[in-house]
């Protein structure tokens, strides 16, 4: 019995030792699997790297991890960092489960040199650092390593560039025949203190280089730099996804890619000290003009439209200067808003400014339209030049319509006959057979006005009851000055007839102030509000593009009604003072 007890104790000890061995084996196995899950490996798909070309950095871990566990911000100091993609894969082999997580990032070195991709730590596992050698394109050609499937090149039209001069920056993306672009974008170049603007649309083509066919995509940018000195143009960059087919296959796997063109350094030249005038640099500047209507003589008070067109090559619209024009004092000028456009022609880019002026002469005789000159600097000859429009002289004659209209108005004997003609829509008179000098017309007008004043005074006293029936008792009339154009002018203003109102307004001013040789608005004793309303009428009639399709005569009618009341009162009481002011 004692022997059985000893045997039982021995079996218990053996069982306890076996259990401890099993537990130790399990712990060792779990520890081994845990250590295996923490392994992280970093690798690149090529080395050395050609400058401007991208390469792929891959981080592989044999455990499921999140993308937020990997921080790649340390790479921004030396590389252009593209998008990071994450993939995971789970497999079972002989009943053993394995899991792999892969981070893929596209990198591109900006300059030639040796760089180090540092070690990364993820969940206490650390990768090994990788040394990257970036070589120039010429070095790659010497070593036979520059057989790239995708490449970006740039070209500049002119490297002798002045401040404010526009030049064309052309980028061309080359895609090899066995490579297909799935998606991508070409970024704009960047400059300091300047402007960059894409011009035109992309052009597709093809080229054969060293016996290899490439598809090409060309894009152009207009660049203007405003500071003299050395300027660095940060090049354009292509970022996208491509697939390269291997021999025997129609397509290959899609891979991200970044490629960058070469950096361009330009020495921007300053404006020459000898240059005079507003700075405009170009290789072609032209100034043209057109007069409308085209005729030998122009009538006083009728508009003459002078249109000037300034065209410059390789210049932005904002760089076109304002035209300084010294107009003579014998004209009224109503300018239109400048029209700025740009266009391309035969591979050159142009900016154009069109200016139109409505010129209204108020004096009979020879009118000289002034010379217009635009200074500019020729970037090819490197000399200052001038685009010039010579002075032009035109002949201005008396306005037949105005003179005939005034005579027609003065031939009416009484206010009653003036009121009867209120229903007429237009005042028309046959043109004079022979033109007369201005002083002769003025003599006839003054004589007619004097006779008409006497007749009107006599008829007013005789027919006072008839005048009251015609509604003149609501207004303060000047019995010494006929006012028979006013009803027709009032009717035209109410009908918003701009052309008829303009003609009648001129005749009415002549009646109100016969002492004046020319009824220039600035010389008339009228209020500022009335002048502005008159200018609005003239601008609508004679401006090429007035900005509105209709004109309302209500404001001008209100101002003229006030002027008419005040003017008549003053004429009665202070006629001698007014004559002194009008004829100093």
Per residue in 416-473, pLDDT (tens digit) is 334 333 333 333 333 433 444 555 666 767 677 777 776 666 666 655 544 333 333 3
Domain extents in the chain: 40-141, 147-269, 281-398, 485-573
Instruction: Write down the pLDDT at residue 122.
Output: 81
Q: Which of 288, 85, 78, 52 is nearest to 171 (CA)?
A: 52
Mean pLDDT of 253-266: 85
- 280 phi, psi to nearest 5 deg: -145, 115
Instruction: Write down the pLDDT at residue 41.
Output: 86
Q: What is the spatial distance between Cα 544 and Cα 306, in angstroms, rounded to a whole number?
A: 10
DSSP 8-state secondary structure symbol assigned to residue 68: G
Mean pLDDT of 333-360: 89
Q: Which of residues 483 and 109 earns the better pLDDT score?
A: 109
Secondary structure class of 40 (helix, strand, coil): strand
pLDDT higher than 80, residue 389 = yes
CA 514 from chain centre, in angstroms, equals 51
Instruction: Write down the pLDDT at residue 364.
Output: 92
pLDDT tens per residue, range 77-124: 888 888 788 888 777 777 677 778 888 888 887 788 888 888 888 877
pLDDT tens per residue, range 127-175: 888 888 888 877 776 666 666 788 889 998 777 899 999 999 999 999 8
As a CATH number, domain 40-141 is 2.60.40
pLDDT higher than 80, residue 24 = no
pLDDT tens per residue, range 397-407: 987 665 544 44
Instruction: Write down the pLDDT at residue 460.
Output: 60
Contact 470, 421 (CB under 8 A): no
Instruction: Write down the pLDDT at residue 290.
Output: 92
Sign for the pseudo-dihedral over CA of 555, 556, 560, 563? positive
pLDDT tens per residue, range 487-542: 888 888 888 888 888 888 888 887 777 766 555 666 677 787 887 888 888 888 77
User: What's the chain's average pLDDT?
Assistant: 76
pLDDT tens per residue, range 180-211: 888 888 999 999 889 999 988 889 998 888 77
pLDDT higher than 90, residue 552 = no
Instruction: Write down the pLDDT at residue 475.
Output: 38
Six token digits for residue 512: 């109100």
Secondary structure class of 226 (helix, strand, coil): coil
Instruction: Write down the pLDDT at residue 371.
Output: 93
As a CATH number, domain 281-398 is 2.60.40
Q: Which of 140, 137, 83, 347 is nearest to 263 (CA)?
A: 137
Mean pLDDT of 347-368: 90
Token pair 């003017």: residue: 567
pLDDT higher than 60, residue 412 = no
Structural Rg of the chain based on CA atoms: 45
Q: Which of residues 521 and 228 earns the better pLDDT score?
A: 228
pLDDT higher than 80, residue 307 = yes
CATH architecture of 147-269: Sandwich (2.60)
Instruction: Write down the pLDDT at residue 81.
Output: 86
Confidence of residue 305 (pLDDT cuts 50, 70, 90): very high
Q: How would you label 85-113 residue by residue, b for 16+ Cβ within 10 Å and e otherwise?
A: eeeeeeeeeeeeeeeebebbbbbbbbeee
Instruction: Write down the pLDDT at residue 567.
Output: 56
Mean pLDDT of 552-566: 82
pLDDT tens per residue, range 309-335: 999 998 888 889 988 899 999 999 999
pTM: 0.55
């Amino acid at each position: 019995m004692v022997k059985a007890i000893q045997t039982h104790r021995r079996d218990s000890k053996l069982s306890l030792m076996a259990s401890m061995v099993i537990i130790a084996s399990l712990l060792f196995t779990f520890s081994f699997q845990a250590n295996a899950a923490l392994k992280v490996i970093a690798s690149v798909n090529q080395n050395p790297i050609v400058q401007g070309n991208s390469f792929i950095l891959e981080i592989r871990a044999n455990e499921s991890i999140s993308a937020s566990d990997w921080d790649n911000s340390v790479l921004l100091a030396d590389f252009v960092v593209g998008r990071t993609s994450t993939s995971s894969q789970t497999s079972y082999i002989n009943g053993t489960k394995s899991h792999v997580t892969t981070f893929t990032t596209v990198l591109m070195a900006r300059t030639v040199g040796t760089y180090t991709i540092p070690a990364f730590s993820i969940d206490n596992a650390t990768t090994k650092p990788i040394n990257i050698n970036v070589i120039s394109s010429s070095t790659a050609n010497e070593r036979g390593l520059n057989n790239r499937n995708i490449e970006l090149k740039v070209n500049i039209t002119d490297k002798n560039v002045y401040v404010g001069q526009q030049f064309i920056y052309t980028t061309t993306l080359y895609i090899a025949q066995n490579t297909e672009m799935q998606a991508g974008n070409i970024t704009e170049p960047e400059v300091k203190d300047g402007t960059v603007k894409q011009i035109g649309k992309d052009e597709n083509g093809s080229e054969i280089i060293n016996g290899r066919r490439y598809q090409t995509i060309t894009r152009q940018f207009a660049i203007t730099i405003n500071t003299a000195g050395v300027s660095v143009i940060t090049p354009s960059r292509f970022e996208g996804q491509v697939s390269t087919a291997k021999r025997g296959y129609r397509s290959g796997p899609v891979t991200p890619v970044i490629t960058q063109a070469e950096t361009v350094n330009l020495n921007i030249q300053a404006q020459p000290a000898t240059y005079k005038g507003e700075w405009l640099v170009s290789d072609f500047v032209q100034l043209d003009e057109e007069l409308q209507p085209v005729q030998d003589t122009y009538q006083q008070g009728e508009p003459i439209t002078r249109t000037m067109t300034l065209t410059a090559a390789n210049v932005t619209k904002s760089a076109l200067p304002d035209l300084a024009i010294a107009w003579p004092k014998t004209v009224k000028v109503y300018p239109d808003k400048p029209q700025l456009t740009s266009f391309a022609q035969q591979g050159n880019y142009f900016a154009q400014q069109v200016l139109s002026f409505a010129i209204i002469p108020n004096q009979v005789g020879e009118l000289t339209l002034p010379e217009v000159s635009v200074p500019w600097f020729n970037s090819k000859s490197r000399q200052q030049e001038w685009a010039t429009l010579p002075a032009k002289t035109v002949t201005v004659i008396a306005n037949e319509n105005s003179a005939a209209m005034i005579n027609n108005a003065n031939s009416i004997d009484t206010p009653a006959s003036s009121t009867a003609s209120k229903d007429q829509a237009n005042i028309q008179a046959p043109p004079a057979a022979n033109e007369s000098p201005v002083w002769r017309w003025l003599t006839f007008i003054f004589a007619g006005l004097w006779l008409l004043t006497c007749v009107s005074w006599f008829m007013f006293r005789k027919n006072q009851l008839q005048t009251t029936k015609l509604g003149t008792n609501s207004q303060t009339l000047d019995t010494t000055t006929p006012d028979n154009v006013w009803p027709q002018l009032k009717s035209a203003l109410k009908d918003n007839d701009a052309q008829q109102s303009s003609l009648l307004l001129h005749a009415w001013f002549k009646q109100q102030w016969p002492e004046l040789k020319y009824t220039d608005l600035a010389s008339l004793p009228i209020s500022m509000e009335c002048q502005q309303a008159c200018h609005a009428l003239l601008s609508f009639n004679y401006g090429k593009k007035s900005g509105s399709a209709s004109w309302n005569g209500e404001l001008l009618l209100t101002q003229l009604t006030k002027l008419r009341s005040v003017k008549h009162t003053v004429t009665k009481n202070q006629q001698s003072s007014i004559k002194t002011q009008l004829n100093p």
